[in-house]
Amino acid sequence: MSLFAAFAALRQIVARTADPARNQPAAPSPSPVQPAASQRPTAIGPQGLHLIKQFEGCARRLADGKFEAYPDPGTGGEPWTIGWGATGPGIRPGTVWTKDQCDARLEADLVRYAADVARALGQSPVSQAQFDALVSFHYNTGAIARATLTARHKAGDFAGAAHEFARWVRAGGKVLPGLVRRREAEAALYRVSS
Contact assessment for residue 54 and residue 85, using Cβ atoms and an 8 Å cutoff: no
pLDDT at residue number 172 = 80
CATH value of 43-191 in 1.10.530.40, 1.10.150.530, 2.40.30.10, 3.40.50.800: 1.10.530.40
Reported pTM: 0.77
Q: What average pLDDT score do residues 6-31 get?
A: 40
Least confidently predicted of 28-37, 70-79, 100-109: 28-37
Distance, in Å, from the CA atom of 193 to the CA atom of 129, rounded to the nearest integer, reads 7
Q: What average pLDDT score do residues 1-13 get?
A: 41
Determine whether 56 is an active site residue: yes
pLDDT higher than threshold 50 for residue 2: no
Distance, in Å, from the CA atom of 169 to the CA atom of 128, rounded to the nearest integer, reads 24
Contact assessment for residue 88 and residue 69, using Cβ atoms and an 8 Å cutoff: no
pLDDT higher than threshold 50 for residue 21: no
The whole-chain average pLDDT of the chain stands at: 84
Distance, in Å, from the CA atom of 115 to the CA atom of 8, rounded to the nearest integer, reads 54
Q: What average pLDDT score do residues 20-30 get?
A: 39
72 confidence band (pLDDT: 50, 70, 90)? confident
pLDDT at residue number 87 = 93
Helix (H) or strand (E) holding 184: helix 177-191
Least confidently predicted of 2-6, 144-148, 171-175, 185-189: 2-6
Which position has the higher pLDDT, 27 or 94?
Answer: 94
CB atoms within 10 A of CB 142: 13
Q: What average pLDDT score do residues 124-143 get?
A: 97
Percentage of the residues of the chain whose pLDDT score is greater than 70: 79
pLDDT higher than threshold 70 for residue 9: no
Close Cβ partners of 146 (under 8 Å, ≥ 6 residues apart): none
pLDDT at residue number 193 = 67
Beta bridge partners of residue 16, listed in sequence order: none
Query: For 33-147, where are the alpha helices, taking DSSP H only?
Result: 46-56, 99-121, 128-141
Distance, in Å, from the CA atom of 187 to the CA atom of 154, rounded to the nearest integer, reads 16
Q: What average pLDDT score do residues 32-40 get?
A: 47
Determine the residue type at 109. D
